[in-house]
Chain A
């Protein structure tokens, strides 16, 4: 479920992705070759489905503009983030990323894909993939800072 949420902008889209993914799992279960874990195989199906969905709906090449509000003001340490924000909050930040950034960020950070593989899968250049990942991280950095600031102010 978390995999689907990571690749979706909201929970409803994540549920649709999960549902469609499981149907595909049932349909292709006989093709599972026991060469890896079943969990990994199902995860791969979900990711491929997310990629297909994006290819159908998003023109990836035109989604490389960075929102204007991305400049991070304060450097953050991993310890600070982990101590002040929980996993669900971080997950919702990933969901807020523009579709292209979210896809590149997920593929690179969670699926372990290299830039040339991402570029091949999305039909973009390797440089664009690197740039998108960099921008995605900048955005996340800024949102994390803002979230931490808001959280501290509420306290």
Chain B
């Protein structure tokens, strides 16, 4: 065989086979679908494993904090059975609180009175009897703040008879604490042994009359924050039929959220928060240029741009050709391609630990560590996609798709941990890494389910009222 003949045979095969097309058997597609589903299941299991680890860490953190909290609350001191305690605490001035502890029927010497640590920041003195005339039921946040430092050594005080509780009173003391007009703050509740020990005594014959409950005015329990959160997002698409693979292969290029958060403290450790957020996701398409055949919708031929976050109808008013079955158009995706959601969050925050960053009583700084979890309700607010359309006659034009169908509101859950640093009397900054994942798909009536998962970091500025 000559070289010429050899080249000819190659050319013959090339020209005959190269243009040949063959549809794969249906079994191949079925196998592919099964493989795709298996891949998705494996991916889902992997995500679940990480979620479990994350949830375990948060649970341990919160659980540890709760155990730590209650273990301090259950401190018991060996107070003789016959003793009776009388609690009297009152506000003398907005910066001065008087806490009076009266021991009745103490049969032991004052040296045997349980010892409690003394904090240098607390100023102690004996008040004249006349202060009793002040309203003892006035409690406010100032009390709470000052109570932190009310760790005293009762044995170190001189015991003076005080006959206000009739005859059996053998010791009493009144403690005046001055503070520096600090407002109510969440931070200082979490210092170990921060609570007034008197409230924690559990003598076996505890007085039947409980000390009055601490009430903090509503406005002092409110706080507001603004925040910004860059996010790393991942789009999870579950495709149930081969047709679902016609719905694009977008990936998340950039995502961010900013918003307003209002919170109210239910207790020194627990608070709930809500607010309003705006999340924006910018997409990138794996396939930038695609050929689109018109489809019959409500009796009319329309060009539909199918994405994993909804279907848009390509406007035909700028087209020079009529939509027809054999008249496909080419559509090229431009850079601008984003979806925005308005989110309404509802979350619960648990303050786990608090650390004092500075020494002394002035210019104190606290940092608080907390866990937060909750749900978000997302409402699609806007969708924007710039495309260039190429028609079969060579005409092309740019257009922006805004009206996407098949999208729906969706729920997501969010877990996070955070740190809040006190800046001043009523301001603090916080940072909060979090994980967010949709509970239901944000598209409906399509052969696919689109879900999002984000990991982000919120940076916030908070005002305490």
Contacts and interface: CB of A to CB of B under 8 A. Distances in A.
Interface of A: 1-2, 5-6, 15, 18-19, 22-23, 26-27, 29-30, 32, 34, 38, 72, 75-78, 81-82, 85-88, 90-91, 94, 105, 108-110, 134, 137-138, 140-141, 144
Contacts of B16: 81-82, 85-87, 90
A109 B13 contact: yes
Nearest to A137: B6
B190 to A, nearest CB: 45
19 contacts: A2-B21, A5-B22, A19-B32, A19-B35, A30-B286, A32-B286, A32-B287, A34-B289, A38-B287, A78-B12, A81-B12, A85-B16, A87-B17, A90-B17, A94-B17, A110-B14, A137-B1, A138-B1, A144-B9
A140 B2 CA distance: 14
A91 B15 CA distance: 11
Given A75-B1, A138-B6, A141-B5, A6 B28 contact: no
A144 B6 CA distance: 12
Contacts of A82: 12, 15-16
B1 A141 contact: yes
Contact of A110 (B18, B25, B249, B288): B18
Given A23-B36, A29-B286, 11 more contacts: A1-B24, A2-B21, A5-B22, A19-B31, A22-B32, A30-B249, A76-B9, A94-B17, A109-B10, A110-B14, A137-B6
Interface of B: 1-2, 5-6, 8-25, 27-28, 31-32, 35-36, 39, 249, 251, 286-289
Contact of A1 (B11, B23, B39, B287): B23
Given A38-B287, A141-B5, A141-B6, A18 B12 contact: no
Contacts of B8: 76-78
A18 B24 contact: yes
Given A29-B249, A72-B1, A82-B16, A1 B9 contact: no
B21 A134 contact: no
A1 B20 CA distance: 9
Contacts of B15: 82
A109 B23 CA distance: 23
A90 B35 contact: no
B22 A75 contact: no
A37 to B, nearest CB: 9
Contacts of A1: 21-24
Contacts of A110: 14, 17-18
Contacts of A137: 1, 6, 9-10
A32 B39 CA distance: 20
A17 to B, nearest CB: 10
Given A1-B23, A23-B39, A90-B17, A140 B28 contact: no
A23 B22 CA distance: 19
A38 B249 CA distance: 12
Give the 5 A-B residue pairs with the shortest CB-CB distance, closest first: A1-B22, A137-B6, A87-B16, A87-B20, A34-B288
Nearest to A5: B22
A61 B22 CA distance: 33
A15 B14 contact: no
B12 A15 contact: no
Given A15-B28, A141-B1, A2 B20 contact: yes
A102 to B, nearest CB: 11
Contacts of B287: 32, 34, 38
A32 to B, nearest CB: 6
A91 to B, nearest CB: 5
B340 to A, nearest CB: 23
Contacts of B289: 34
A144 B1 CA distance: 13
Contacts of B20: 2, 87-88, 91
A94 B28 contact: no
Nearest to A88: B20
Contacts of A86: 16
A13 to B, nearest CB: 12
